[in-house]
Amino acid sequence: MSVLTSPPAPATLSRAGRLRGKARYAPTAATIGLFLAMFAAGAVMYPGFLSGQVFLNLLIDNTFLIVLAVGMTFVILTGGIDLSVGSVVALSMMIAAALLRQGWNPFATIAVVLLVGAVFGLLMGLVIQVFEIQPFIVTLAGLFLARGLCYVISLDSITVTDPFFTSMAQARIRLPGGLFVSPGVIIALLVVAAAVYVLHRTRFGRTVYAVGGNESSAVLMGLAVPRTKVLVYTISGLCSATAGILFSFYSLSGYSLAATGMELDAIAAVVVGGTLLTGGYGYVVGSLAGVLVLGIVQTFISYEGTLSSWWTRIAIGALLLLFILLQKLFSRKIRLG
């Protein structure tokens, strides 16, 4: 005797969809909530912490990491990883400093640096796609290659004295209430806004999410999976070069050891911001919030004054472990609906 089962009621399907939607937003909302809670705790613990300029300083000091995290978000959303970004930042700084020292026009220098970063990412994406090699291996090779090229350019630090770069380093954009930001903050926020638009308002952005969600299904749907996987690494390389320019504005130098380990900071910011390492779920705004969380941890250490800077790494490691566990919980909730 067979038992006939009726299909799920529309109301049940609608409720499941709402639950999945809420679970999708939950990691990013948790990151934003954590940042607000930490900011409130700082206001209670330290005099002068509750200030608009303290918040703006988080942006000023982390402009390059924000842009780096944007590029990393694209890559991780497809289920990939890019370990080369910190070295590409250093390579971009070294190229910019070397060209400026030779008397190049600053705008031509910036154009060359951005082109080199994009081509570097493009080549890694092509190797990953054409030869079907794990992104971890290819980008690890890219890390060593870019860092080695830094030493080919110069073993010593190169000081940047170009008037345009100097003016960008010293410029302040005044805001109401005596507050200010650097031009780098505006550039970083424009990059974030552009990334939000691309990911949520274009066919390419929807394909990025589809590839990370289920690559086989994306192929069956006729989406441009190979092109998308190559392009996300190109975007990551372009963002790394942009971050290198912003870091040059910030430090007015090129140094072969600059940005060592910054790729791990970028990955941590993206994961803390709620993007799943397996791909398919996450938001650029969450990555921005993740950078701010890492920045406020460093601010706490600075305000405390008695703690070693290594406590920053310890705190970031603990946060990363916590959010990976939360990701596991939320991804299970999304699957179960």
| pLDDT, tens only, 280-317 | 989 999 999 999 999 999 888 888 776 677 787 888 88
128: in domain: yes
Work out the pLDDT band at 6, boundaries 50, 70, 90. very low
Asked if the structure places residue 211 within a domain, the reply is yes
Q: Which stretches of the chain are DSSP H helices?
A: 10-45, 52-61, 63-77, 85-101, 106-130, 135-153, 163-170, 183-201, 203-213, 215-220, 225-251, 262-272, 284-304, 310-336
Instruction: Dump pLDDT digits (tens) for 123-142.
Output: 999 999 999 999 999 999 99
Examine residue 173 and state whether it is found in any structural domain, yes or no. Answer: yes
Q: Is residue 21 part of a domain?
A: no
**Of 51, 54, 59, whose CA–CA distance to 183 is shortest?**
59
Tell me the residue range of the domain where 117 lies: 51-336
pLDDT of residue 15: 47
Say what the pLDDT of residue 17 is.
47
32, part of any domain: no
- Per-residue pLDDT at 187 exceeds 80: yes
28 within domain boundaries: no
In a domain, 263, yes or no: yes
Residue 104 lies in a domain: yes
pLDDT, tens digit (0-9, with 9 covering 90-100), for 46-68: 888 888 999 999 999 999 999 99
pTM, full prediction: 0.91
Residue carrying the six token digits 């990393």: 72
Q: How many domains would you assign to the chain?
A: 1
